Amino acid sequence: MNVLIVEDEKSLANEIAAFLRSENFLCDLSYTGMDASEKIAINLYDFVLLDLGLPDYNGIDLINEARKAGSEASFIIITARGAVEDKVKGLDIGADDYLAKPFALIELLSRINAVARRKFRITVQEVPLGDFIMQTESRKLFCKGNEVELTKKEYDLLWYLVLNRNKVLTRHQLYEHIWGNILDDQYDSNFIDVHIKNLRKKLNAHSATPWLETVRGVGYRVSTD
């Protein structure tokens, strides 16, 4: 998933980014509110990790601005501020969680995963897909007890479709959330088609996949009951 880290302490921002990348997240960094505002306006993020005490911006205003613009990103406030009113105000205008400094990186990961489970309504560690089972903790896919060998990106692509099950995702959305932000003139929609084709080939070698649908002219969808 695609994460924007908004933190003016560069060493901390880089530390968070390195940790999350090791956990299979894509990460962009902003050290100012203005830069973060511009990134949120043009890119698709699943999460924004936001320090409220930015040198040029009130973090609360950034959340409010993003929500009014229709951003679907989940915001987790990360700040040294301990005042209850800051926490309440942030949550009231649309933040999804609050984590006070100092914190352990493993706790941050736990908060992100908890928000993701709520956001995508994932309540189990094994997600059925026809004859297939996705194990969310081990990041493995099985079919009738046999592991399906997927690359990291193939698993990420399938998992993101599963998280957004029954929703059509465009090729551009899939690219940004799995491969990262790109300039429009660098984008090639055929790139996603090729990866879906390869993924389908591996899956169909084990069992039919009617739940992985192509929506002509738009993108792809995983349909589940």
Residues 157-212 pLDDT 10s: 999 999 899 999 998 889 888 887 655 555 566 888 999 999 999 999 999 999 99
Count of structural domains within the chain: 2
Q: Looking at residue 65, which CATH number applies to its domain?
A: 3.40.50.2300
Residue 182 corresponds to which tokens in the numbers above? 């790109």
176: left (phi over 0), alpha (psi -120 to 50) or beta: alpha
Quote the Cα angle for 126-132-135, to 5°. 25
pTM: 0.76
Read off the pLDDT of residues 111-168 as tens digits, 9 standing for 90 and up. 998 898 888 777 678 889 999 999 988 889 999 999 999 998 899 999 999 989 999 9
pLDDT at residue 36 in the model: 94
Most confident of 58-62, 69-73, 164-168: 164-168
d(CA 205, CA 144): 12
Instruction: Please tell me the total number of residues recorded for the chain in this structure.
Output: 225
Mean pLDDT of 76-89: 74
In a shared domain, residues 102 and 171: no
In a shared domain, residues 148 and 110: no
pLDDT reading at 85 higher than 90:
no
Q: Is 207 exposed, middle or buried (0-12, 13-18, 19+ CB in 10 A)?
A: middle
Q: Looking at residue 130, which CATH number applies to its domain?
A: 1.10.10.10
In a shared domain, residues 91 and 151: no
In a shared domain, residues 31 and 47: yes
- The share of the chain scoring above pLDDT 70, in percent, equals 92
Pick the residue with more confidence: 9 or 225? 9
User: Cβ(8)–Cβ(32) under 8 Å?
Assistant: yes
Domain hosting 136: range is: 126-222
Distances in Å between the Cα of 34 and the Cα atoms of 7, 8, 39, 76, 176 are 12, 12, 9, 18, 21
- Phi/psi for 169 (5° steps) reads -110, 130
Which helix (H) or strand (E) is 27 found in, with range?
A: strand 26-30
In a shared domain, residues 143 and 105: no
pLDDT at residue 52 in the model: 84
pLDDT at residue 76 in the model: 94
Residue 135 corresponds to which tokens in the numbers above? 């194990």
